[in-house]
Structure 1
Amino acid sequence: MGEWDYWFVSGANCLFAVLPGHEDDPRLVRYGEWAESSEQLPRDRCRGGPRALLDLDADREVAAHEAARRWDDWASFAAGHPPALPPGPYLDRAYLDPLGYPERRARAEYASQPLIRAILEDPELADRFPYDPIRHFGPDREVYSADGGADVLPTPALLALDGRWVEYGGPDYRRGFNAYPDAPPPETMVVRVLYRS
């Protein structure tokens, strides 16, 4: 429908997990037209195949578990410091009163909070935790973990079976992308591709 100039099977590093026990099924798509040869792919990974042969939950579960571990690390570290505010309230105040409370002061006061200061002063912690950890991790471990799992499967665009081209657009896109491959009949081919638009 004019959305791309060309496409080919590949998916780069976005491989699917193969449902255990089906690693040798010839219907799995293992070749890539712009990547390593099929012999170099692990037996439990592929670029696509019939939906029934793909373990779409395997990587989501691993990512959700890893996200929960990161949240626990953050909560444990944060518990050793007084509670902190995210940068939003500081920056909102600076926006409302740019002369009396300039952005430079807002950022400095945000960074002076003991929890944030500890992160900013330690390169190892700065690598582990983002600039705005309060908002990034949020108060709910389960939500953070679920979001980590939901980020695994989606790519910037989805070509639906009916020809619709759906591009990235926030949490609704991610939710829809994760649900879409589970809906078609088991024999429906699900394949990763690279494209040029």
Structure 2
Amino acid sequence: MHPATPCPVRPAHDGDPGSSRPAPSPGTPAGLAPLGPPECHGGPRGLLGPDAVRQRAVREYDALRGAWEDLVAVHPPARPLGESVARHEAGPDGCPSARAKEGHLLQPPVQAVARRAVAGDPHFGRAFLTTDPVACFARDHAAAREVALRTAMAGHAPLTLDGRRRDGGGEGYGEWADGRLEHLDPEAVVVDVLCHR
């Protein structure tokens, strides 16, 4: 599953002690009714609602793509990094690629995304501080939407029951990961873990 993305619990399993529920935020009044369906960060595969996770991932991707399109509509077009590098290398002084990259990052749409990421924009998360938005949104919308759908549950690096880890990305990854999750025994425990060094 995508890091730190809670998974809806199937309605028939609400309150099941086998699910790993997020702790309430400090200061939350006791007995406060939840807003929306119950969610968890793991549990037996049979009690999780993967279709809801996939639908949410597609909605979030569509909203992100819409936010990018709104942003670029009010700025001069952003050029891909490869064009900047080629233009600088072809120049009389053979500008180093570091300067070409700096110029690429100074483009108004790229700067606008970075400012929004720092400000906590709900669409452009902090990952966009290290992700090139021009390259990210150059992908075909339908293909990128399909990637969001196919990796919604599996996330970026699933660890299988036999201890193997497969990094996300690459051709066929989404289908492989989705297939692994769909064919797990309903009692097999799936847990979303965010790891960092």
Normalised by the size of structure 2, how large is the TM-score? 0.63
In the other structure, the counterpart of 1:166 is 165
Structure showing greater Rg:
1
Alignment of 1:43-62 (within 5 A): 44-62=38-56
SS at match of 1:186: coil
Structure 1: stretches of 5+ with no match in the other structure: 1-11
In the other structure, the counterpart of 1:9 is none
The share of aligned pairs that are identical, in percent, is: 28
Q: 1:99, CA displacement in angstroms? A: 4.2
Higher strand share: 1
SS at match of 1:190: strand
Alignment of 1:81-96 (within 5 A): 81-94=75-88
Q: 1:25, CA displacement in angstroms? A: 3.6
Q: 1:155, CA displacement in angstroms? A: 5.0
Aligned alpha-carbon RMSD (Å): 4.2
Structure 2: stretches of 5+ with no match in the other structure: 25-29
Deviations 1:96-134 (A, max 9, x none): 77942333552465357xxx2255278645656646322
Alignment pair present for 1:177 and 2:180: no
CA change 1:17–1:172 in 2 (3 A) is farther
| CA distance in 2 between partners of 1:67 and 1:189 (Å) | 27
In the other structure, the counterpart of 1:16 is 7
Q: 1:62, CA displacement in angstroms? A: 1.4
Match of 2:20 among 24, 30, 37: 30
Match of 1:110 among 104, 109, 121: 104
In the other structure, the counterpart of 1:138 is 138
Deviations 1:17-62 (A, max 9, x none): 2112321345x3337xxx849x99x772234333222101222321
| CA distance in 2 between partners of 1:100 and 1:19 (Å) | 60
Alignment of 1:147-166 (within 5 A): 147-155=147-155, 157-161=157-161, 163-166=162-165
Q: Count how many residue pairs are aligned between Structure 1 and Structure 2.
A: 177
Deviations 1:65-106 (A, max 9, x none): 111111112112223444331112222454677942333552
| CA distance in 1 between partners of 2:157 and 2:193 (Å) | 10
In the other structure, the counterpart of 2:60 is 66
Normalised by the size of structure 1, how large is the TM-score? 0.63
Asked whether the 8 Å contact 1:154–1:174 carries over to 2, the reply is no
